[in-house]
Chains A and B, each alone.
Chain A
Amino acid sequence: MSGYLIRRLVTMPFLILGIITITFFLSRVTKGDPLTAIISEQQMSNPEVVAAAKQRWGLDLSLPEQYLVYTGKLLTGDLGTSFTTKRPVLQDLLERLPATLELVIAAMIIGTVLGIALGVLAAYYRNGWLDHGSRLFALVGSSLPVFWSGLGLLFIFSVQLGWLPGPGRLDARLQPPPMITGMITLDTLLAGDLAAFVDALHHLILPAFVLGWTVTGTISRLVRANMLEVLNQEYVLTARAKGAGELRVLLHHALRNTLVPTLTVIGHSFAYLITGAVLTETIFAWPGMGSYAVEAARALDYPAIIGVTVVGGVTFLVTNLLTDIAYMLANPRIRLS
């Protein structure tokens, strides 16, 4: 098992280099001129300014040269400077990533807990109203576009009922906490500012639910199907014959066996949401990775595009690795060597 993990860790840098190379050349062959993001429109007709800008941002070099310069800098941890924000990409990412992580982690907690609970109940009360209800809930969650469900829920809970705040991460009247982790809920707690923490949590509920709802369906259907299979297994009968109560049979004996295939889906959903939460971030004015990626792509901001891709790629690889580890821990029959 440890040999397998070491091999995975060793191959990881090469995979990331591969991702960077592909993204680098793909973004360069895209039609469009990144200079429009760097200099104003009037100056685009001034050849001197254009040439100076090209030189300043390294765009006068040939493509292979640009690639070598970029990867060379990358080895020192320099992801380049964004054309649009004119700041180091690394710094941009370090600000954006925690916001997204906060949102996605909360969304995955909601999605996973809800998905597993609904899946277990649906399997136990198969063909009952709970089963049909959870199927409908899951279907709506995975088929409604986020911009629709997000706006709809904002309208109901924020505008009409006034139970939850509108878009944003923190009330404008509150003092943002000093940045430690970049996740506002954590930072407010670390700063001991309980009022700000409660407010940040309130801001987090709606976007996290909207995002979590999209994965609830996948997880609950998977858990239900696996659970139905597991509940027919003889060891469930054994557990009942031992005198175990229904709750114990469901959670201790059946769910554990169901979780193994579910872990994969949870891992993939998490990795996908890190860069795939654009719409949710846009609607809830959440300054995360998704919106950064869209701005970067729109402006052909090469360093930012690659930066986002690297973060996405690394998240995917790390999540896959963690999923594999969890898989082995949950299933003693798997012994990879």
Chain B
Amino acid sequence: MLKHQDKSLLSVRNLTVGFQVGGVTLDAVRGIDLDVARGEVVGVVGESGSGKSVAMLACLGLVPRTARVAGSVRFQDKELVGMPQSEMRKLRGSRIGMIFQDPLSSLNPVLTIGSQIVEAIRLHQPGISRKQAYDRAVELLDLVSIPQPDRRVSQYPHEFSGGMRQRAMIAMAVANGPDLLIADEPTTALDVTVQAQVLEVLKSLRDRLGLGIVLITHDLGVVAGNVDRVAVIYSGRVVEAAEVGALFRDPRHPYTRGLLSSIPKLDEKRERLFSIEGTPPPLGRRPTGCAFHPRCIYAREVCLKEEPALRLAGASLSACHFADSLEQMPVHQAAAGPETTEVHQ
């Protein structure tokens, strides 16, 4: 699984993103570490509002001007935090591609698919003629398995189906042969069968182009079988990071355990789906100590006072005071391995 890895492509250290709201700075991302190697798919998992998308947008300098970004993001030995926009623009869309959740709203409705891909090419390779770029756009659509690419290239986004739009977005994101692709919930707005097709396209691009991919999702089902390593984010922090097999076999954070238990399984009869009680804390009202403690069935005195650091427990890095003893504690249900969770939703 990890055979493509050579050296680190993206290295995020202690990334913090804050927003000014009414004179106070609220941190949406609080010190995230993340590494992506060439040819590796890294899953970033978390609920809506956990800060996972903001963190990745901040890496590319795509957060609002008012946002305060601190820490370090190294990409191919270049520091991205604090890099001037003019420099950053040269990386965006050329070395780093990005795709978003809703492929209909992320494509410009008044421009043809082809002209949007041609734009992506010519922004970074101005020497290429319009004709050459257009031919390249057809090749790219073919690469992401869009049938009749020479006809489809001159159509508008509303003439494409949801899955085809997302594939067109992917074609546009890889138009300049990037080294890193950031996919922000690329399958969330799609039907389950189409989800699988899009994930297949991503994986084949990884294999063919040696891309490093960051797959942001709230769905552990998408992670299983599609990524190499996972970082679970809760309330702006990484609470657990592990290789995907280890995470599913032996989760070392109560939040991860809860997420795994809430995946419905076909081989089980159950009246109700399991869900983690409560909701993630809003930005301004983060609880003291461990941010997860109000929703955690294992929470003790210490969890209210001290925020646990990320440390090695089993095969995972976990930010839980009880990461080592978690397996002896009562579970709602034994966490299942990735084999069974691949059948999901």
What's the least CB distance linking A243 to chain B, in Å?
4
Interface assignment of A85: CB less than 8 Å from any CB of chain B: no
Binary B-proximity of A96-116 (CB < 8 A = 1, otherwise 0): 000000000000000000000
Q: How far is the CA of A333 from the CA of B108 in the complex (A)?
A: 12
B62 touches A333 (CB 8 A): no
How many of chain B's residues have a CB under 8 angstroms from any CB in A? 30
> A residues 150-207 with Cβ under 8 Å of B?
none
> B residues 310-340 with Cβ under 8 Å of A?
none
Q: How far is the CA of A239 from the CA of B119 in the complex (A)?
A: 9
* CB-CB nearest in chain B for A242: B93
Q: Which of B5-13, B97-105, B300-308 is the contact stretch? A: B97-105
Interface assignment of B132: CB less than 8 Å from any CB of chain A: no
* Chain A residues, Cβ within 8 Å of B110: 256-257, 260, 330-332
Interface assignment of B92: CB less than 8 Å from any CB of chain A: yes
A234 touches B102 (CB 8 A): yes
Selected contact of B93 from candidates A241, A253, A330, CB within 8 Å = A241
Max count, chain B CB within 10 A of own CB: residue among A233, A239, A330: A239
**In the complex where A237-B62, A332-B156, A332-B158 touch, is A242 in contact with B105 (Cβ < 8 A)?**
no
Count of A-B residue pairs with CB < 8 Å: 74
B172 touches A237 (CB 8 A): no
* Chain A residues, Cβ within 8 Å of B173: 241
Q: How far is the CA of A330 from the CA of B111 in the complex (A)?
A: 10
A238 touches B123 (CB 8 A): no
* Chain B residues, Cβ within 8 Å of A242: 92-93, 119-120, 123, 172
Interface assignment of B90: CB less than 8 Å from any CB of chain A: yes
**In the complex where A240-B62, A242-B93, A333-B158 touch, is A235 in contact with B106 (Cβ < 8 A)?**
yes
Selected contact of A244 from candidates B105, B109, B123, B169, CB within 8 Å = B123
Interface assignment of A245: CB less than 8 Å from any CB of chain B: yes
**In the complex where A234-B105, A243-B92 touch, is A256 in contact with B111 (Cβ < 8 A)?**
yes
Q: Summarize A's interface: helix, strand, loop or mixed.
A: helix
What's the least CB distance linking B297 to chain A, in Å?
38
* Chain A residues, Cβ within 8 Å of B105: 233-235
A241 touches B92 (CB 8 A): yes
Q: How far is the CA of A248 from the CA of B108 in the complex (A)?
A: 13
Max count, chain A CB within 10 A of own CB: residue among B97, B106, B124: B106
* CB-CB nearest in chain A for B104: A234
* Chain B residues, Cβ within 8 Å of A233: 105
Interface assignment of B94: CB less than 8 Å from any CB of chain A: yes
Interface assignment of B107: CB less than 8 Å from any CB of chain A: yes
Interface assignment of B73: CB less than 8 Å from any CB of chain A: no
B60 touches A241 (CB 8 A): yes
Chain A residues with a Cβ under 8 A of chain B:
233-235, 237-245, 248, 252-253, 256-257, 260, 330-333
Contacts A238-B98, A240-B62 known; list 19 others, CB within 8 Å: A233-B105, A234-B101, A237-B106, A238-B172, A240-B92, A241-B92, A241-B93, A242-B119, A243-B90, A243-B92, A243-B94, A244-B89, A244-B123, A256-B108, A257-B109, A332-B110, A332-B156, A332-B158, A333-B109
User: Can you list 10 A-B pairs, Cβ within 8 angstroms, ordered by A?
Assistant: A234-B101, A234-B106, A237-B62, A238-B107, A238-B108, A238-B169, A242-B92, A243-B89, A248-B123, A257-B108
